[in-house]
Amino acid sequence: MAGSPRTFRKNTTVNKIAIVLMLTLLALVQLAVAFQLAVPEDMLVGRDYGNQILVPTNQILTLAGERIQFAGWPSDMVLSPSGGELAVLLAGGIQLLSPEGTLLRHIPLHRTSFGGIQFTPDGQSIIAGQLDKTDSVVAADSVTGQITTLATFPGGSLPSGVAVAPWGNRVYVALNGRNLVAAIDPVTRKVVRIAPTGVAPFGVALTPDGTRLFVSNWGGRRPFFYERWAYSAGTPVLVDKRGIAASGTVSVLDAVNLRRIAEIPVGLHPSSLHISPDGRVLAVANSNGDSVTLFDTITLDVLETIPIPAFPEGYAGSSPTAVAFSPSGRWLYVACGGNNAIAVLQRVRARPDSSGRMFMLAGYVPVDWYPVALAVSTEADDTETVFAVNAKGIGSRAGRDTFNVKGMTLGTVVSFTGGVKSLSTATVRSNNDPFVGRARRAEVTDLKSLGIDHVFYIIKENKTYDQILGDLGQGDGDPFLTQYGWNVTPNHHRLARDFVTLDNFYTSGVVSADGHQWVTQSFVTDYIERAFGRWPRSYPFTGNDPLAFASTGFLWDHAQRAGLGVRVFGEFAVIDHGGHRPWRDYYADAIMTGPSRTVITNSSIASMGSITEPRYPGWALNIPDVYRAKVFQERLRGFERQRNLPNLVIIFLPSDHTAGLLPGYPKPASMVADNDLALGQMVEAITHSSYWPRSAIFVTEDDSQDGVDHVDGHRTVGLVISPFIKGGRVDSTHYNQISMIRTIEELLGMPPMNKFDAAALPMRSIFTTDPNFQPFRASINQVPLDDLTSSTERLDKMEQLAALQSQAMDFTHPDAAPEDQLNRIQWHLAKGWSTPYPRIMHKWGCETDEDDAPASRKITSLARK
């Protein structure tokens, strides 16, 4: 019998309370599970674990303060004179924000340089540089966004750092590409003075009285003819014997006539400059030197060089990218791109004492991923607020219903209370070494004890985990996203299944320019991190720019210092001779018996000449990987005959990059199958050699920019092959490319190179002391390797459009082809023209821009562009 209305209402209330309690309990359980999962080894990149986010550089972000986020890669920031607006420089424009995070205005620009943005003294205009057919310095109205061109320069001038005279009558700009600084009259809009600086000028600072101008030179002083040097964007740069930029300077000029007064040596990669409020002290952030230099702006005496330590301590890599004095002058803030933190320095004396100390390091404040610029404001009660703009922000995080690609970064501005109030050094330390001392699930705690004397390190091009292994049948894969599954890449699949499936393995970089630095250095410099979305000076994929190299050097430098033998096949190599024939010619050589036609290769880094294999091709998509495999196998047999196999062998296999539907080249599936077969042939040769019982093979992509992944855009293929691998297991421990380098170092008895590999988790969980010496036999390809794209008239309508687009792309240089366009061509060729491209996030809070459109409409719209 039904209860009375009153009883019913009472029961309903009880039920509501019960439901609320159940939901609360469920939320608490979910929260507990989240925190329980927040063990670094089990974390997934990009997920939010109770205010913590793991990024693929062995670091955790734990926010202190407030966060403003937006789409894009910011490179610089300035606070308006009133303190009411923040102007953030992005690759394609300026975001004007309130300090609370409200978007006031977006001002589009063609393309910007490495940095350089300032308000005029009245706050009415924002000065910045932009790049187009000719480069220019522009003034953007802060209210209307209207653009006025103040001066133009030849293309390649690369306007970077900007300073405005106190009275607004002069604008000074560093021309990074021409090694000059220019003075502009903003009223007449003319360049009134121009003067030489050091190499690659970056930052500009002007004394408060407007009399002296300081310019930081990324590449330091110009080398003498008898010194060791290498080119950076056509300019000679002083380098050390490893080929790494070896000088940093600050040019001092009279601001009135731009007469050179001095050039002062500082640390490596001097970037941001800032002058104290009293005008007497200049601070310089030495990004590749882990220090800040202070000197007197009048006497030009160096007052102090302050080390800025990294975490884990004792290793290089804090990467100071920016400095800012507080308005009171009592504090100096230093953005540490490598630490994802702001170092807070307290002024202890007006001038240095006998010990040389003027500022003392008080501690660190955690911010987001790779801070590059700072601003400080003061409230009426003397409370200071520090703003830090972070180039990588919180990474490439997408929404629930979208897949992840790495290029869609969410940049951020983090604000916090200045002084000692926000210090959290212990948090910064734990954020930067979350894996140090952790070795759970490890049967082998000393990898060197396995007796592995030879490591083969194979670097491929541009694929996500899901693109290749999503259909593996074990591990965390999404078959829907698989483009090159078992039928195309049987050797990848067998190696992952039979040895170890690493389904929580990530690239640390984004594209080839930084990816090849991460896989060879476990480090990326500020020169690279500021260039995303622009690449204004160079795209240093082939090792052709000494400013892209870390002061700690390369893996091969490290191995040679340890007394180990090294051979490099194709990495950082260029083809000198014999590399311009059609694809068919090299394929014919690869499948015939006997020696192949000769391709002559050398390294762009002079110090690599003795370790580079001269007959192995570097980047060239007109040469199949099976040709490279043949050259490698011939050389391996030579090592066996002479019993002199080096300890570290680095191998480049690029064909899985693909060339779209470029006529005369194999179709994407064929190029990936070629890459798969070449890998299988190399592994087969190694495992059948006499060196196999003492060998380990590591395989990774340089980056994963070619596609999407359901976990994170950085997740990629990672393979480890050795007799000492626990066969047939799925290992979901968080590993990345730097973990791979750390493992190689431990196997060969080398210490870490820098803070990043020192903080990496060695891959001990996949090794065993019970070896299995069974050799591997490569699977033959199921997809024809010579399925070449014919002339467009033989293709169907959709393929014709894709072929026309491919013909307009540049495949002679890495990543020169439009990434999104090429990715869509590859997707539709693999999945069909009627299968929509996966939904991806283009801009924070925006719609997905045709991602759900039928393929025919999407590819046609691309063809019109």
- Rounded CA-CA distance 466/787 in Å is 24
The stretch 132-147 carries a mean pLDDT of 95
pLDDT at 820: 86
SS3 744: helix
Please tell me the predicted confidence (pLDDT) of residue 395: 83
Any residues with CB less than 8 A from the CB of 265 and at least 6 apart, and which? 220, 221, 247, 248, 249
Give domain limits for the chain: 61-100+318-434, 447-592+631-766, 792-864
Closest CA to 648 of 532, 757, 744, 730: 744
Task: Please give the model's pTM, rounded to 2 decimal places.
Answer: 0.91
Distance CA 107, CA 146 (A): 8
Consecutive H or E run containing 776: none
What is the third-level CATH fold of 447-592+631-766?
A: Alkaline Phosphatase, subunit A (3.40.720)
- At 532, the pLDDT band (50, 70, 90 cuts) reads confident
Check: CB of residue 346 under 8 Å from CB of residue 331. yes
Average pLDDT over residues 275-298: 96
Residue written as token pair 């036609």: 597
pLDDT, averaged across the chain = 89
Q: Residue 783 has which token pair?
A: 């997809």
In the chain, pLDDT over 90 holds for what percent of residues? Answer: 78
Question: What is the reported pLDDT for 850?
Answer: 38
pLDDT tens digits for 769-802?
999 999 999 999 999 999 999 876 677 888 888 8
d(CA 599, CA 604): 16
Alpha-carbon Rg for the chain, nearest whole angstrom, is: 28
**DSSP per residue, 494-517:** HHHHHTEEETTEE-S-SSHHHHHH
* Section 477-504 average pLDDT: 97
Beta carbons within 8 Å of 582's beta carbon, 6+ residues apart: 622, 664
Tokens 């004792």 belong to: 314
Place of tokens 């990004």: 287
What distance in Å separates the CA atoms of residue 678 and residue 695, rounded to the nearest whole number? 19
User: pLDDT grade, residue 23 (50/70/90)?
Assistant: very low
pLDDT in tens, 682-714: 999 999 999 999 999 999 999 988 888 999 889
Q: Is the pLDDT of residue 844 over 50?
A: no
The predicted pLDDT at position 258 comes to 97
Can you list the pairs that 81-87 forms with residues at least 24 positions away whose Cβ atoms lie under 8 Å? 81/119, 81/121, 81/122, 81/123, 82/123, 83/377, 85/123, 85/142, 86/375, 86/387, 86/413, 87/117, 87/119, 87/126, 87/142
Residue 606: predicted pLDDT: 84
- List helix spans (H) across 458-597: 465-469, 490-498, 512-521, 526-529, 555-561, 583-591
Under DSSP, is residue 709 helix (H, G, I), strand (E, B) or coil? strand
- The mean pLDDT of 621-630, rounded to a whole number, is 97
pLDDT at 179 over 50: yes
CA 511 to CA 703: how far, in whole Å? 6
Distance CA 143, CA 140 (A): 9
Q: Are 652 and 459 in contact (CB under 8 A)?
A: yes
C-alpha to C-alpha distance for 239 and 246, rounded to whole angstroms: 5
